[in-house]
Amino acid sequence: MNNLSYLAQTAFPLVWIVVPAIGAAIHARRATSSEERLEIWQRWWAIGAFGCGSLWMTIAFLAFPDVMATAIGFDRTPFMFEIAFANLGLAVMGFRAASASARERVTIGLGGGMFLWGAAIGHVHQWIAGGDHAPGNTGGVLVDDILIPAVMIILALRSRRLANIAV
């Protein structure tokens, strides 16, 4: 694999962070309050990063299992079907988070984090112990696995604090 192809495949998962961040930043410029800006960011993050990113992974693992197996540096296994549906669960939670309360968003972020942070630990282990430098095991996927639930939780906690200050 040439360096440009490797870089593109490694960086692709970052689209699920970059697009929602750009969309939220543009949309939030019109907001008239901190609460409104924060809600815009939470909805963009829930739908774009958490929901669409996880739905993409569901589709990719179901529709292109051989491509995904190569991307992650493993042989195709029945476990990939389970990963697809775990991601579908994350997608449903992400879409639900768009209209959820701050408390629910914290819970959704924590629930997604348990899966994604565990996956990140697995990626790092395979990277270090197994020498797996496949584009779907390192790079952008690690950033997504760590940041998507973390940002969801941080935004929701900030929203709860603003609500408590306003009361």
Measured CA to CA, the distance from residue 153 to residue 150 in angstroms comes to 5
Is 8 contained in some domain?
A: no
Going 51 to 53 to 58 to 59, the CA torsion angle's sign is positive
Is 7 contained in some domain?
A: no
Is 1 contained in some domain?
A: no
Measured CA to CA, the distance from residue 165 to residue 167 in angstroms comes to 6
In the DSSP assignment, the letter for residue 24 is H
Q: Are 138 and 127 in contact (CB under 8 A)?
A: yes
Query: Within 13 Å of residue 152, how many CA atoms lie on the same side as its CB?
Result: 35
Is 6 contained in some domain?
A: no
Does the pTM surpass 0.75? The reply is: yes
The residue segments making up the domain with residue 143 are: 13-166
Is 5 contained in some domain?
A: no
**Per-position pLDDT tens, the chain of length 167:** 678 888 889 999 999 999 999 999 999 999 999 999 999 999 999 999 999 999 999 999 999 999 999 999 999 999 999 999 999 999 999 999 999 999 999 999 999 999 999 999 999 999 999 999 999 999 899 999 999 999 999 999 999 998 887 64
Is 74 contained in some domain?
A: yes
State how many domains the chain has: 1
Q: Are 35 and 166 in contact (CB under 8 A)?
A: yes
Is 130 contained in some domain?
A: yes
Is 4 contained in some domain?
A: no
Measured CA to CA, the distance from residue 151 to residue 55 in angstroms comes to 18
